Every structure is written in structure tokens, then in C-alpha cells.
Amino acid sequence: EPEVTQTPSHQVTQMGQEVILRCVPISNHLYFYWYRQILGQKVEFLVSFYNNEISEKSEIFDDQFSVERPDGSNFTLKIRSTKLEDSAMYFCASSRQGLNEQFFGPGTRLTVL
Amino acid sequence: SQELEQSPQSLIVQEGKNLTINCTSSKTLYGLYWYKQKYGEGLIFLMMLQKGGEEKSHEKITAKLDEKKQQSSLHITASQPSHAGIYLCGADDNSGYALNFGKGTSLLVTP
């Protein structure tokens, strides 16, 4: 069964460093998303991406964040200068058509020290 | 912005018992999604409801959407330890691109 994969599973970084979180969505999906979940809190939408551009982003997704689909298979989330409050589980998701059934990856746990 | 309130926050039931989890939206529901999350893992899609009065079932899990009440319920019949986890409801924010999630209901099923 096809699945969304994410790497790394756990990333530890120093405050102020740049991190890139990687995702491989399901191959025939056209819509891609990033969500995050701070420990003990709800899952929060960050950004959606379709047709090589951002279709929607939340207030959380400020200038420190960027997304890219560098090739036909990867979808990345970059945080330019990490802050302590960026520590969270980051989930990538993809869907074939709009908001129909989003498939989530297992997540990357980001720890900022 | 839309808020989704789930109740109860947590639930401990004995194996074999039935249970219901509710999700109430502060705004009109355009689509309601149920996911299950095992602790520290990703979200697993359970069901999507789009029309008022719609009801869907998968194995022993049934979800209903009451559009007028802006509410959805998830019912598990004859619960099993494998049902344990965190159940999340998510709703379309009407942009067509983002899901807002509730805080989740933590379910533990005891033998």
C-alpha cells in the first residue's frame, strides 16, 4: 500500500540553525501539506502546495518557513533560523484531489536546543 | 477562525463496551474528517463526511454528521484494545486546502 514517508524521523538542532525536513508524498497525489504538532497540543496546519505553488498558508508559516518540490518526488519544508518554539512534530500529508482523504506521514520530531 | 471542540478529552472503557466521541464546530461544517493517531505517530485516516445526515461505517466504527448542530459523532461498537489511541476530528476551513483539528480524544481500552 502506498504511503507518505518522511526523513529524518528525529532532528536535533541548535537555535538559529537552518533545517530541512523531507517528505516523499504518494506518487500520484497532487496536493501536499505540512502540519505541526507541539507536544501536548493540537495538530496545526502550516501550508498547502499545489501545482508548484503555495495554495494556502497559516499565520504560523512566516518568512522563516519555505516549501519546495525540488524534483518529481520530494517535498521539503525549510526553517531558516530555528527557534526554541519550533520544537514540534512535523507531519507531511498528501492527497490526490483537494481535501479528499489526506494521507499523513509518520512525522519528523524536531528538537531545537 | 473555526474551533473544533472534542468531548470527552479522554476515555477509559472496558473491552467489549461501546463508546461515543463528539466533535462540535464553532462554524458551519463543510467537511468533517476523522483520524486516529497512535501515541507519537502519524495520523491514520478513518472517515470523511460531507453531507448533513451522512453516516459512514468501517468495521466497528461509525461516524455521523449533523450539519444543523455543526456536530459529528464517532461511535465504536464492542471496543477492542486495538482501538486505543487518540481520535482527532478535522474540518475543512472552507478554503479547500487546510484542515483544522480538534485537540483529540484519548481512548484507552482495558482488558
Q: Which of B97, B100, B101 to mutate to test the interface with A (most CBs of A within 10 A)?
A: B97
Q: What is the domain class of A5-97 according to CATH?
A: mainly beta
Distance between CA atoms of residues A60 and A65, nearest Å: 9
Alpha-carbon separation of residue A111 from A38, A40, A47, A87 (angstroms): 10, 15, 20, 5
CATH code at B33? 2.60.40.10
Q: Tell me: the pLDDT tens digits for A37-80?
A: 999 899 999 999 999 999 999 999 999 999 999 887 899 999 99
Q: How many angstroms away from the CA of B82 is the closest CA of chain A? A: 18
Q: Give the pLDDT confidence score for residue B26 in this predicted structure.
A: 92
| B68 grid coordinates | 444543523
Indicate yes or no: CB of B95 within 8 angstroms of CB of A104: no
pLDDT over 90, % of chain B: 71
Give the domain ranges of chain A: 5-97
B98 found inside a domain:
no
Helix, strand, coil percentages, rounded to 5, for chain A: 5, 50, 45
B99 found inside a domain:
no
